[in-house]
Chain A
Amino acid sequence: MANLLEIKDAQRQIGDSFALRNVNLAVAPGEIVGFVGANGAGKTTTIRAALGLMKLDAGEVRLFGEPFGPNAPDSTQRHVRSRIGVVFDTCPYPAEFTIAQMERCLAPAFPTWDKAQFWRLAEQFSLYRKAKVKDLSRGMGMKLQLAVALSHKADLLVLDEATAGLDPIARDDVLATLREFATQEGHGVLLSSHITSDLDRIADRVVAIDDGRIIFNMPREEITDMAGVAHCTAEQAHTILECVEEALVERREFSCDVLVPNRFEFSEAFPEIPCDHASIEDYLRFTLKGITQ
């Protein structure tokens, strides 16, 4: 089965700087792809390009195997977008609208709109019919977007920093919903976030971007289940860097932390050096700031 989303060698210049430089990203069916990066790294720009909201200077975007972009044929834009559920970081609906009015406004847009499903989700998320969008908290606004995204039989969910600002309980609910969505056949999720702990929990693959460039793209297990962070002296760090390929060191005032790709092999080779499991945040930090000598 074709990838749900494929971005190949995407390039885009905005002003004097490159917003995207040879970005490659794919979401396969059944996959939750975590898209991580600092503020201003290019996550939202990549998502805008993927949704055909922005033109690329070079490269291509394919959605459900079809070439896509702002200049795609009208019929392609309609039927491709009907299969995508989008959740942005802020609730985009007009502030004066009630939830019932928003449902009436959005329902005609989707040929596969399921009104019963929407109100079921609204009840589950405690969204009341007469509540105005402007009175919703950030978390409730996000849940409203999610209810819309899950009510038109979408195959791909694209969430742009959707969990930022949510309380832990709301975040748990959302992550559980996304996990359940992705387990259904032919579904996938692209979840962009700078909150890496969310991705630790549900991502199947992690793609990191910095300054418009993809800096790593790997299965989440390789980071959280295999990689490790060794805590050692400078002298030990020097030895580790000579012996372990792809190790990265972060030097502190009185000690060093070394990212190793396989903490089990490392522990066998260096049993005297403590080595913790690595998180996505650690991996990102080391990739951006770590050095190899």
Chain B
Amino acid sequence: MKAALKSEFVILSTFMPAFAVILVPVCAIMALAMGNCIPAVACVSAMVPMISMFSLTSYDDQNGWKRYRASLPFSRRDVIAARYGSILLASLIAAACATMLGIALNAILPSFVHEFETMPTTEVAAGSLFATFSVVIMVAIGEPFLIKFGATKGVRYFMCFAVLFFCICLAMLKQTFDPMLLHNLDTWADAHLSLLFVSLTVVSLALFALSCAISTTIYQRKDL
């Protein structure tokens, strides 16, 4: 599995530097606009898992790479585990880099922007990781669609599923709507931030592992 992970990560590392060049100014501009680096850092951290997922899937459908990769000395389980492992690794590396970028912006921007709010390093890091693990849940839901249907159809079905899920949640919320719900949630979250963070991390990693198992089963049954 290690060999498959190294191979998959080399693919990611070929286009990540190009994204970094784009994401750094995006993060700086967002931080300037919002007067606070946490939303910017969170936004950048959130982009990387999805970019990684869709980019790796797009390579699968190029030139028969998916079939050739299946003929390499990897088991099918290795291929899927490497896909998930490389997305998670890239996401965590991106979160760490985004946190360092946030710390740098905290140090530089107050000199240029009077209203810029300097945030504690722990909160910057927490914001970055919170965003990362939130999007990792979306990756966990989307990746089996891409493994099953490929890049083109998989994206369509995933988007349809996401919109349908959103509409169902809205409809259910409408049935049980409590005007104070959001306020109560916000108050609770402020009081239990650490618990919320740990719960999110555990849930996202558990869903990620479950998604990996589902994708492995799908991939093992496919003709390539």
Q: Which residues of A are at the interface with B, using a C-beta cutoff of 8 A?
A: 48, 51, 53-55, 70-71, 74-75, 77-82, 84, 86, 88, 90-97, 101, 104-106, 108-111, 133
Contacts and interface: CB of A to CB of B under 8 A. Distances in A.
B64 A90 contact: yes
Given A88-B64, A94-B62, A94-B63, A110 B10 contact: no
A81 B74 contact: yes
Contact of A105 (B2, B10, B62, B64): B10
Interface stretch (B65-73, B163-171, B197-205): B65-73
A94 B77 CA distance: 22
Interface in B15-57: 15
A108 B78 CA distance: 13
Contacts of B15: 96
B93 interface: no
Contacts of A106: 7, 72
Given A105-B7, A105-B10, A88 B73 contact: no
A109 B72 contact: yes
Interface string B1-15: 011101100110011
A79 B74 CA distance: 9
B152 interface: no
Given A54-B224, A93-B68, A94-B59, 4 more contacts: A55-B223, A91-B63, A105-B10, A111-B73
A42 B73 CA distance: 24
Contacts of A95: 62-63
Contacts of A53: 67, 70-71, 223-224
A141 to B, nearest CB: 9
Contacts of A86: 68, 71
A51 B67 CA distance: 10
A281 B75 CA distance: 39
Contacts of B76: 70, 77
Contacts of B67: 48, 53, 88, 92
A88 B68 contact: yes
Given A77-B76, A92-B63, A84 B10 contact: no
A109 B224 contact: no
B220 interface: yes
Contacts of A104: 10
B191 to A, nearest CB: 47
Contacts of B220: 70-71
Given A105-B7, A109-B3, A77 B62 contact: no
B223 A48 contact: yes
24 contacts: A48-B224, A51-B71, A53-B223, A55-B223, A70-B76, A71-B220, A74-B75, A77-B75, A77-B76, A78-B73, A80-B73, A88-B67, A90-B63, A90-B64, A91-B63, A92-B65, A95-B62, A97-B14, A101-B14, A106-B72, A108-B10, A109-B72, A109-B73, A110-B72
A192 to B, nearest CB: 14
